[in-house]
Amino acid sequence: MSYPEAYRYTKEHEWVHVDGDHAKIGITDHAQHELGDIVFVDLPKSGSKVTKGHTFGSVESVKAVSDIYAPVSGEVVEPNPLLSKHPEKLNEDPHGEAWLIKVKLASPSEANDLLSAADYQKYIGAE
Amino acid sequence: MSPATGLKRTPLFDVHTASKAKMVDFGGWEMPVQYSSIIEEHNAVRNAVGLFDVSHMGEIEIHGPEAAKLVDYVSTNNAAKLKIGQAHYSALLYDHGGFVDDILVHKVAEHSFFLCVNASNQEKDFEHIRQHNEFNANVDFASDRYAQLAIQGPRAVPTLQKLTSTDLNGIKYYWFTDGTVAGTPARIARTGYTGEDGFEVYISPGEAQRVWGEIMHAGSEFGIKACGLGARNTLRLEAKMALYGHELTASTNPFEADLGWIVKMDKGEFVGRPALRELQQAITRKLAGFEMTERGIGRDGYEVWIEGKPAGWVTSGGPSPTLNKNIGLCYLPADCANPGVNLQIVIRKAPVSAVTVPTPFYKRAKA
């Protein structure tokens, strides 16, 4: 699966796609692959705040629970409604349909220091 | 053993890595947790057939004129009642009645027993049995002489039958036969840890890779899948089969673990019996099954509340691929362990509703 150039990535395997003062946040294909069959996704409600570097939810596979860390700070506009009924979509389309949350950014420049697609792929290749 | 990690490996390690299995540290063993998808592997066993490498399990052989006496003295079930070719589930206990391990006992000959024990307990079990050997019996640590493969699922018989002249339908549940599989001597036992029909086959480690390949080939027309420890765990949980370190520990006893049926109090003296006599009079907690009634997955070690107060803990919990529910086992006060009791499982500090249910969660239809 390709890692979109327009996204920025974290070493904790989240991605963020900034669009003006809003952004979508998700987990990477590498992350879903490491987790295996995803069976449960716990996301914050609209209106709650997420803080860069802090956990905002969790993704559970058959075997394990993984915390998800916010790549940027902001206010949740919408958790992805698809994932409460169809958590398995995270295995199928983690960079697209199965985004986790939309946020209104506290500071749009916050994503600048995250990894590029090329650097992230280098990072997971070496991991 | 891997020089880099210090983890032990089975004879099938190279096969697992070649099939891109995800390997994990399981009690000091580098084992496959999944090959493709835990759910797909789980469903293959429920609907067709799956093959597991369980060579990490330990084997202990007990021989001699008083072999039966030793087995009966160190284990809870009645070994004297076993017929040659029959196996049963049993337990090794400490003097205080807690579990050393849960085991399978096979009666191979009049004076010869074959024990299958948990991987991470095998050295401890061996020492425990030796320490109590006041009999004319030899206790032999045999793990290095066996690889073990589990062929499990409704298509286990037609898969394995292609590779053996032993009439598999003639082996009853919890019986075994010494024969051959793919031309190599094999102990073929109709046992398993999945809640399905199937076999556990003990062979020479040097033959393990070849026999693995032959079984995969024989099962291909039925859609056989290599299955890892992840599926093994979801399968055994649905069938409510206990796991050492979870339901069974040094500080739990067979009565509270719902394993009174493997304890034969009237068979004569055995290690742990005096303590069990006391414990039997005062069962304070019991193992219960639950299912989540709100969104959330109760997992191993999570606290359990009743009416907002701490009442117990989850021993094993997770998603049930067969039932499409989130299920688990937990210890509860004995008077709250019947079905229909409302619980809260504490998931990341938040109480989430669950209810106790009858077990096993899954039982296969009788053929």
| pTM, to two decimals | 0.95
Give chain B's contact residues with A (Cβ, < 8 Å): 22, 33-34, 37-39, 230, 233-234, 295-297, 299, 318-319, 321, 326, 348
User: Is A102 domain-assigned?
Assistant: yes
Distance CA(B261)–CA(B89), nearest Å, equals 10
Residues on chain A touching B352 (C-beta within 8 angstroms): none
Specify whether B96 is located in the same domain as B215.
no
Residue (of B28, B34, B105, B73) closest to B273 by Cα position: B73
Share of chain A above pLDDT 90, in %: 94
Instruction: Residue B234: give its domain's CATH number.
Output: 3.30.1360.120
- Residue B5: pLDDT band (50, 70, 90) is confident
A96 touches chain B (CB under 8 A): no
From residue B27, how far is each of A35, A118, B30, B121, B245 by CA, in Å?
Answer: 20, 37, 8, 9, 10
Residue B2 pLDDT: 63
From CA B202, how far away is CA B358, in angstroms rounded? 34
Do both B186 and B322 map to the same domain? no
Supply the angle between the helices B38-47 and B229-238 in degrees, to the nearest 10. Answer: 50
Determine whether the interchain pair B319/A36 forms a contact, defined as Cβ–Cβ distance below 8 Å: no
Across B152-167, average pLDDT: 98
Residue B363 lies in a domain: no
Strands A101-105 and A74-79: antiparallel
The answer on pLDDT for B101 being more than 80 is yes
pLDDT tops 90 at residue A126: no
Write down the pLDDT at residue A37: 96
**For testing contact with chain A, the best of B23, B25, B31, B34 (most A CBs within 10 A):** B34
- Cα→Cα distances A69→A56, A112, B109, B299, Å: 6, 17, 60, 21
Pair A68, A57: CB distance under 8 Å: yes
Residue B301 is part of which domain span? Answer: 284-357
B137 and B168 in a common domain: no
**For the segment B102-149, what is each residue's pLDDT rounded down to a tens digit?**
999 999 999 999 999 999 999 999 999 999 999 999 999 999 999 999
**DSSP secondary structure letter of residue B77:** S
- What's the CATH number where B297 sits? 2.40.30.110
Residues B231 and B291 in one domain: no
Contact residues on chain A for B37, CB-CB shorter than 8 A: 36-37
Please tell me the distance in Å from B37's CA to the nearest CA on chain A: 6
- Residue B117: CATH number of its domain: 3.30.70.1400
Q: Are B214 and B164 within one domain?
A: yes
Cβ–Cβ below 8 Å for A36 and B297: no
**A1 inside domain:** no
Give the pLDDT of residue B328.
Answer: 98
Tell me the residue range of the domain where A29 lies. Answer: 8-126
Please answer yes or no on whether A36 and B22 come within 8 Å at the CB atom: yes
Contact A39 B297 (CB under 8 A): yes
Q: Are B158 and B296 part of one and the same domain?
A: no
Distance CA B188, CA A101 (A): 53
Q: Is the pLDDT of residue B35 over 70?
A: yes
Our CA angle for B249, B251, B256, nearest 5°, is: 85
The count of domains in chain A is: 1
Top residue of A32, A37, A65 to mutate, by most chain B CBs within 10 Å, is A37
- B287 φ, ψ (degrees, to nearest 5): -75, 135
Beta carbons of B174 and B190 less than 8 angstroms apart: yes
Neighbours of A121 (CB within 10 A): 16
pLDDT per residue as tens digits for the range B195-215? 999 999 999 999 999 999 999
Radius of gyration of chain B (CA): 20
Work out the average pLDDT over A42-69.
96
Q: Is the pLDDT assigned to residue B3 strictly greater than 90?
A: no
Residue A2 lies in a domain: no
Cβ of A84 under 8 Å from any chain B Cβ?
A: yes
How is B147-213 classified by DSSP, letter by letter? EEEEEESTTHHHHHHTT-SS-GGGSPTTBEEEEEETTEEEEEE---SSSSSEEEEEE-GGGHHHHHH
Task: For residue B259, count other CB atoms closer than 10 A to its CB.
Answer: 22
Are B322 and B309 within one domain?
A: yes
User: Rounded to an integer, what distance in angstroms lies between the CA atom of residue B254 and that of residue B209?
Assistant: 37
Residue B92's identity, in one-letter code, is L
Contact between B341 and B280 (Cβ < 8 Å): no
Beta carbons of A54 and A117 less than 8 angstroms apart? no
Co-location of B214 and B230 in the same domain? yes
CA pseudo-torsion sign B235, B312, B246, B282:
negative
How many whole angstroms separate alpha carbon B247 and alpha carbon B83?
A: 29
Residue B82 tokens read as 């076993």
Q: What is the mean pLDDT of residues B71-95?
A: 98
Q: How many domains does chain B have?
A: 3
| Closest alpha carbon within chain A to B321 | A62
Calpha distance B248→B91 (Å, rounded) = 10
Judge whether residue B323 has pLDDT over 80: yes
Give residue B367's pLDDT.
Answer: 61
Is residue B189 included in any domain, yes or no? yes
Kindly state whether residues B95 and B136 are assigned to the same domain.
Answer: yes
B100, B125, B143 - which closes a domain:
B143
If asked whether residues B33 and B167 sit together in one domain, one would say yes
Which of B234, B295, B348 lies at the smallest CB-CB distance from A62? Answer: B234
CB contact under 8 A, A40 and B38: no
| Per-residue tokens: B47 | 């609907």
Mean pLDDT of B216-228: 98
**Does residue B301 lie within any of the structural domains?**
yes
pLDDT single digits (tens) A12-53: 999 999 999 999 999 999 999 999 999 999 999 999 999 999
Quick one: DSSP state of residue A127?
-
Residues B62 and B51 in one domain: no
Q: Nearest by CB to B318, which of A42, A58, A62?
A: A62
Contact B296 A40 (CB under 8 A): yes
Residue B1 is predicted with a pLDDT of 58
**Span B226-259, pLDDT tens digits:** 999 999 999 999 999 999 999 999 999 999 999 9
DSSP string, B303-325: EEEETTEEEEEEEEEEEETTTTE
Q: Tell me, yes or no, whether B99 and B173 share the same domain.
A: no
Is residue B261 included in any domain, yes or no?
A: no
Alpha carbon distances (Å) from B309 to A99, B298, B332, B347:
37, 17, 12, 14
What pLDDT score does B256 carry?
Answer: 97
- Residue B316 pLDDT greater than 90, yes or no: yes
Q: Please provide the average confidence, as pLDDT, over all residues in chain B.
A: 97
A3 in any annotated domain: no
Q: Are A16 and A124 in contact (CB under 8 A)?
A: no
What's A78's domain CATH number?
Answer: 2.40.50.100
Summarize chain A as % helix, strand, coil (round to 5): 25, 35, 40
Q: Is residue B192 part of a domain?
A: yes
Contacts of residue A21, Cβ cutoff 8 Å, sequence gap at least 6: A104, A105, A108
Give the three-state DSSP class for B126.
Answer: helix
- Mean pLDDT across A63-80: 96
Mean pLDDT of B305-319: 98
| The predicted structure's pLDDT at residue A87 | 96
